[in-house]
Structure 1
Amino acid sequence: MVLKTELCRFSGAKIYPGRGIRFVRSDSQVFLFANSKCKRYFHNRLKPSKLTWTAMYRKQHKKDIAQEAVKKRRRTTKKPYSRSIVGATLEVIQKKRTEKPEVRDAAREAALREIKERIKKTKDEKKAGFLSFPCEIREIVCTLVHLEGFVRIDWSSCVVFCISFHFYLSLSY
């Protein structure tokens, strides 16, 4: 079971449940004191930083150094080093790292060009599939696209799917 402890506003000591004195000022601010001594010093306007037994004094004069030294333990950082991974050996990684940016850019452009050509080829095939159908069927498909807006055409199986009305039209002729 965890007990909810509070701190004394004057001394900084822990106050366990059922202990301490609560003082409510006229501006509705609540002060909690560990004992009558702390309450008396507070009302007499003594500064907690002047009394050697308060937490504030001990903090200002660095009296709890032993506990802070334990917290300030340093971690050793591991230095990065290169090693081979599943896809590539160390030699391949080193070669890619030392390769000039011009060579890298040229390889990237070649790959992009190849991808664009592949996309263009598939678009041309789709267009050729559309143009191979008779004029009447092409007009029907174009009006469906114009009216519905979202129509999926599968040229391989000659089927038009209309998404908004959930029907499909077979383009067999």
Structure 2
Amino acid sequence: MRLEKCWFCSSTVYPEHGIQFVRNDAKVNLYFPICRSKCHKNFKMKRNPRKVKWTKAYRPVYGKDMTQDSTFEFERKPNRPERYDRNLAKNVLKAIPKIEKIRVTREERHHKNRMKGKKEKIQKEAAKELEQGISLVKAPLAQKIKVSVSQRQSEDNDAMED
């Protein structure tokens, strides 16, 4: 059973599912497995999968996923068979937890760097939305009257709240 990857979104296309789009220029090796009608329509519209947010190709291009990490090389299987060596296998089994720990810390660091300015951005957006919709929050008469609170009164209120 051969599983294909969708040309557009990179999801798995199981046998007898999806569409095989074959070009008509007599080149045998140029066919495009497509998983569903959503991908087929985007493919016919000649959209670039790297610019469509829901595809897997979008994520590494825009820094959403880690792309270059040496721990990914560890899992890749070579196509050629290798001779079995007991010492090598033992060392590899010892290295797997260490490599997994390294990968987890790198992913956490990547996520932390991505979310660095997120809190300030959310606060700015909330302040902007509040400023635009202030008429919904305040009564129309209250907007005209400015209330000034002295520093001492505000300190007393803070003390009472604690």
Going by fraction, where is strand more abundant, 1 or 2? Answer: 1
TM-score greater than 0.5 by the shorter chain: no
Larger Rg: 1
TM-score class, shorter = 0.3 to 0.5
TM-score (norm 1): 0.35
TM-score (norm 2): 0.38
